[in-house]
Amino acid sequence: MRVPGYLTMDTMPTDSDHTAPLASPTGHKLKQVYLSLGSNLGNRVANTQKAIEDLDRVGIKVRRVSSFYKTEPVDFNPQAWFLNCVVEAATGLMPLQLLKAVKSVERAVGRRPGVSKGPRAIDIDILLYENVVVRSSALTIPHARMSERRFVLIPLRELAPGARHPVNSRTVTDMLHDSRDLSQVVRFKLEG
């Protein structure tokens, strides 16, 4: 996948340094986050690419983007298949500020209130925020069902196979290996 200005699995140099300390222009340490993006309404590719581009505008600097995947819907059928990916990003935002920022991107891309788990122009979930655990009525980090969903774990494994779930201490690779999710997740080849 080619998204201008971002490293992707298809364009990433093999020896690139993704472990360099993250710092804002003011010198404050930025937090590393992983976000899952999904779309199954309208032009799924354009919606997802616009969301990735808009993240920077709200204080979320995208560092890497996984491949895109065509994924079978879970929890609510029938509906169109999703296009999913995961981004690795850096931000100075605190968790609730990050949630507010991703919700503003969702609205900008065209997400509207609808059926829970139903069709949407874009959905952005916070998977991981460093090793922070957040449990509130507004936000749960790590994402509550992250370890059960192949459409999250497969693209996340591309970017961070050894990342550990901060509650159960299992790696992304281990969670994927043990997942009971049988939904289809197929790499999506972008044209151009």
Alpha carbon 82 to chain centroid, angstroms: 13
Q: With beta carbons less than 8 A apart as the criterion, state whether 142 and 166 touch.
A: yes
Active site residue 64: no
Is position 123 annotated as part of the catalytic site? yes
Q: Which of 128, 133, 111, 129 is nearest to 120 (CA)?
A: 111
Name the catalytic one among 44, 125, 149, 157: 125
Residue in 53, 34, 65, 64 with CA at minimum distance from that of residue 142 = 34
- How far apart (Å, rounded) are the C-alpha atoms in residues 100 and 123? 13
**CB-neighbour burial class of residue 124 (10 A; exposed 0-12, middle 13-18, buried 19+):** buried
- Is 120 a known active-site residue? yes
Catalytic residue (choose from 44, 54, 63, 123): 123
Question: Known catalytic residue: 107?
Answer: no
Residue 100: CB atoms within 10 A of its CB come to 14
User: 44, 63, 64, 111: which is the annotated catalytic residue?
Assistant: 111
Catalytic residue among 44, 63, 64, 120: 120
Beta bridge partners of 16: none
Catalytic residues: 111, 120, 123, 125
